Chains A and B, each alone.
Chain A
Amino acid sequence: MEPPRENSIEAHGLVREFKRGPRAVDGIDLRVDPGEIYGFLGPNGAGKSTTVHMLTTLLPPTAGTATVAGYDVVKEGPSVRKAIGAALQEAALDPFLTGREHLRLQTTMHGITGEERRERIDELLTRVGLTEAADRKVKGYSGGMKRRLDLALALVHRPRILFLDEPTTGLDVQSRTALWVEVGRLAKEEGVTVFLTTQYLEEADVLADRVGIIDHGRIVAEGTTEQLKAEIACSTVEAVPANPDQRGALVSVLERFGEQTTGYGPGSIAVQLTSSDGNLAEIVRALDAEGVVLSQLQIHEPTLDDVFLAKTGRHLEGAGDEEEQDSEQKLEPARA
């Protein structure tokens, strides 16, 4: 009998090109250790789902290699599928089946039958809090209930590695928190390795042991959230002039303390400080000396969004949407 393999994920130079399309994934190298929660963070269209599809064997890579649970995703697809569970981006459920019927079908597809099947289904329904709704058709489920059922379906065969593709998109805060708790428990108590894609900074911050930031199909930063924030090191000061005519004066004062960067709010000027020491008092004194009156002044500690900004020049939130708009604008002349 073959000894059990490590519950890790490894990819080297992973590439996926689509016909007449862009290079969705452009040479990704990553390693996820057993029992680790790896957050794969990036805007819409960055290549997160394509990466998941390759690692879960749904899509063959154009180039590069990857092993999941010690099995090659190209050469040993069936072995990979036995070792993994996956909840993909859309909770693909049949609205006319009940939650219990979904679980019955999924267990049968995994070759689990009889008493073991009944026990496993009851256990999972309890764990995801769907016991009462188990015999109701899925078309009557809320978004959160569908996501919880999706997670239960991914777990029926006790996978060693779990892929979750944007599992909390569209969920309310309560459902999102409940899912985080369950994912955290799976990793800590059951030693399940979790590969989690998300576009939510908070989700990566709260859940992930390590984070990989992907943009345009490439990993632009990787490490623990603390390491990544430490790379940025310095805080950002953001100010809004009370009088728009003083915008120039505000910029010239703030630039004495750091490099101008993209602000969060409309009309704001933001500067990433060059020194890690808190010199807010100095900034206020300098602004006062120049007679600049402010309506707002804020200091931001480094966040994962700052890391994304530092690596890509854009904020994570809305980055995917901006690209979609850009590409539409680029198409306009062609249409005309």
Chain B
Amino acid sequence: MTATALVQTAALGKRAVVRTGRQPANVIFPLIFPMLLFAVNAGGLKAETRLPGFPTDSFVAFALAVPFVQGALLATINANVEFARDIQTGFLNRLALTPVRGIVLLFGQLGGLVTIAVVQAVFYLAVGLAFGVRLQSGIGGAAMLLLLETCIALAFASLGSWAALRTGSTEAVQGLFPVFFVFLFLSSMNIPRNLIEADWFRWVATVNPVSYLIEAVRALVITGWDWQTIGLGFAVAAALSAVGFALATHALWNRLERT
């Protein structure tokens, strides 16, 4: 990528961040909602820690992984709704009329979205630490957690961008919200997979990629440097990003019919 393309990507990413920052609903909701769910789960399900084989005696620490994935989802939906609005209003056409390369438009959008998700992740981490959670992986683990969050956000962001570019409809992107949430709730978000009694649920949680994202974050919080789980989380995030990016790039070429 050339220096000009990098500057253009940064400018587009900055625009995505500024636009989100100027809409209080898009800032407050992704910060508060995951924390509310976190508080409810941590309070209501803490008896789970008495189950034989439960990996920690702190359900707060166990549950802290969920806001990271949920926050990335919320950031994705909000930012990609705005992306779809750019298509509807013709803003994307305005950008397409400049010499900027198509891929830069996508990188800029994804870059802005990932930045927002990482800022949110810092907030979730701060709240977790304030509630007495101590990362078993230490300070280095916190850095790794933010890196993992970047990859998770990139995975969801690229899939969301694909939906925005494919449909050009804010409603269609908003429609992804419940779909993503089904994946979240059918994962190991509330209980380790090996402790799920219902066979069908354990099977669904096992084939659900979201489980591996949550488990990688959770490993950094409650286990430490469990490279296998962390590596699997990165691999799943990378695979989802690759699929999402390929789909989004294809949709971008179709959307921008420019010659």
Chain A residues proximal to chain B, CB less than 8 Å: 56-60, 73-75, 77-78, 80-82, 84, 86, 88-90, 92-94, 96-97, 101, 104-106, 108-111, 113, 137, 153
Contacts and interface: CB of A to CB of B under 8 A. Distances in A.
Contact of B91 (A58, A84, A94, A111): A94
Given A88-B93, A96-B23, A101-B18, A110 B98 contact: yes
B18 A58 contact: no
Interface string B176-189: 00000000000000
Given A58-B257, A109-B100, A153 B7 contact: no
Contacts of B95: 109
B99 A82 contact: yes
Helix, strand, loop or mixed for chain A's interface? loop
Contacts of A60: 257, 259
Contact of A58 (B19, B89, B93): B93
Contacts of A97: 15, 18-19
A227 to B, nearest CB: 33
B259 A109 contact: no
Helix, strand, loop or mixed for chain B's interface? helix
A107 B228 CA distance: 47
Contacts, number: 77
Given A93-B91, A97-B18, A58 B11 contact: no
B79 to A, nearest CB: 13
Nearest to A76: B259
B170 to A, nearest CB: 14
Contacts of A93: 89, 91
B50 interface: no
5 contacts: A81-B98, A97-B19, A106-B98, A109-B99, A109-B100
B258 A58 contact: yes
Interface residues of B, number: 25
A105 B15 contact: yes
A75 B259 CA distance: 7
Given A60-B257, A88-B93, A137 B7 contact: no
Contact of A86 (B11, B91, B97): B97
Contacts of B7: 108, 113
Contacts of A86: 97
A272 B94 CA distance: 45
Nearest to B10: A108
Contacts of A73: 259
Nearest to B96: A58
A108 B11 contact: yes
Given A97-B15, A105-B11, A108-B8, A92 B90 contact: yes
A94 B21 CA distance: 13
A92 B95 CA distance: 10
A111 B99 contact: yes
A57 B98 CA distance: 11
Nearest to B11: A108
Contacts of B259: 57, 60, 73-75, 77, 80
Contacts of A89: 90
